[in-house]
Structure 1
Amino acid sequence: MVLNCGAYKMRKCWQEIVKCIPYRPHAAVYNRAHVLFERNDTRGFTPEEDETLKKYHEKYGNKWKKIAVLMGKSRLHVKDNWRRIKLGNPKAGKWVQKEYQDLYDLVNMDLKMKVYCEKKSKHGMLRDNIPWGAISEKLSTRSDARCCVKWYKLRSPLVAQGLWSDTDDYLMIGKLYELDAACADDVDWDNLLEHRTGDICRKRWDQMVKHIGDYGSKPFAEQVDILAERYSPDLAEDREAWDNKPVVP
Structure 2
Amino acid sequence: MPRSGVPLTTCSLTSGKGIARPWKLVYYRAKKMFDVNNYKGRYSRGDVEKLKVYQALHGNDWKKIGELVSRSSLSVALKFSQISSERNHGAWSKTETQKLIKAVEEVILKKMSPQELQEMDSKLQENPEGRLSIVREKLYRGISWVEVEAKVETRNWMQCKSKWTEILTKRMTHGRDVYRGVNALQAKINLIERLYEINVEDANAIDWEDLAGTIGDVPPSYVQTKFYKLKATCVPFWQKKTFPEIIDYLYEISLPLLKEKLEKKMEKRGTEIQTPAAPKPVFLFRDIFYCDDDDDDVSGGEDGGEKS
Which of 34, 43, 52 is the equivalent residue of 2:50?
52
Runs of at least 5 residues in structure 1 that lack an aligned partner in the other structure: 175-207, 215-249
Match of 2:41 in 1: 43
What's the CA shift for 1:80? Answer: 1.3
Larger fraction in helix: 1
| Cα contact 1:56–1:67 (8 A) shared by 2 | yes
- Alpha-carbon spacing, 1:93–1:60, altered in 2? closer, same or farther (3 Å): same
| Cα contact 2:145–2:160 (8 A) shared by 1 | yes
Rounded to whole Å, the distance in 1 between the matches of 2:6 and 2:56 is 32
- TM-score, with length taken from structure 2: 0.44
Q: Say yes or no: does 1:81 pair with 2:76.
A: no
Match of 2:161 in 1: 148
| Cα contact 1:103–1:147 (8 A) shared by 2 | yes
Match of 2:285 in 1: 167
Rounded to whole Å, the distance in 1 between the matches of 2:136 and 2:5 is 27
What's the CA shift for 1:17? Answer: 4.3
Give identity over the alignment, percent.
Answer: 22
Runs of at least 5 residues in structure 2 that lack an aligned partner in the other structure: 118-134, 175-216, 218-276, 299-308
- Alpha-carbon spacing, 1:90–1:29, altered in 2? closer, same or farther (3 Å): farther
| Cα contact 2:136–2:281 (8 A) shared by 1 | no
Rounded to whole Å, the distance in 1 between the matches of 2:281 and 2:40 is 46
| Cα contact 2:107–2:147 (8 A) shared by 1 | no
What's the CA shift for 1:67? Answer: 2.2
Q: Map 1:1-249 onto structure 2 (within 5 A).
A: 6=2, 8-12=3-7, 15-21=10-16, 22-36=19-33, 37-39=35-37, 42-86=40-84, 88-110=85-107, 117-119=114-116, 126-127=138-139, 130-155=143-168, 156-158=171-173, 160=217, 161=277, 162=280, 165-169=283-287, 211-212=295-296
Once the two structures are superposed, what CA deviation does each residue of 1:163-210 show, in whole Å capped at 9, x if it has no partner? 994335389x89xxxxxxxxxxxxxxxxxxxxxxxxxxxxxxxxx765
- Across the two proteins, how many residue pairs are aligned to each other? 173
Rounded to whole Å, the distance in 2 between the matches of 1:19 and 1:27 is 11
What's the CA shift for 1:134? Answer: 1.5
- Alpha-carbon spacing, 1:212–1:63, altered in 2? closer, same or farther (3 Å): closer
What's the CA shift for 1:60? Answer: 3.0
Match of 1:226 in 2: none
131-140 or 12-21, larger mean C-alpha shift: 12-21
143-152 or 153-162, larger mean C-alpha shift: 153-162
| Counterpart secondary structure, 1:169 | helix
| Cα contact 2:38–2:75 (8 A) shared by 1 | no
- Alpha-carbon spacing, 1:165–1:9, altered in 2? closer, same or farther (3 Å): closer
- Alpha-carbon spacing, 1:163–1:210, altered in 2? closer, same or farther (3 Å): farther
Rounded to whole Å, the distance in 2 between the matches of 1:141 and 1:66 is 27
| Counterpart secondary structure, 2:11 | helix
What's the CA shift for 1:31? Answer: 3.5
Q: Return the letter of the residue paired with 1:146.
A: Q
Once the two structures are superposed, what CA deviation does each residue of 1:130-189 show, in whole Å capped at 9, x if it has no partner? 443222112122222332332242232347344994335389x89xxxxxxxxxxxxxxx
Rounded to whole Å, the distance in 1 between the matches of 2:111 and 2:72 is 30
- Alpha-carbon spacing, 1:47–1:83, altered in 2? closer, same or farther (3 Å): same
- TM-score, with length taken from structure 1: 0.52
Rounded to whole Å, the distance in 2 between the matches of 1:124 and 1:59 is 40
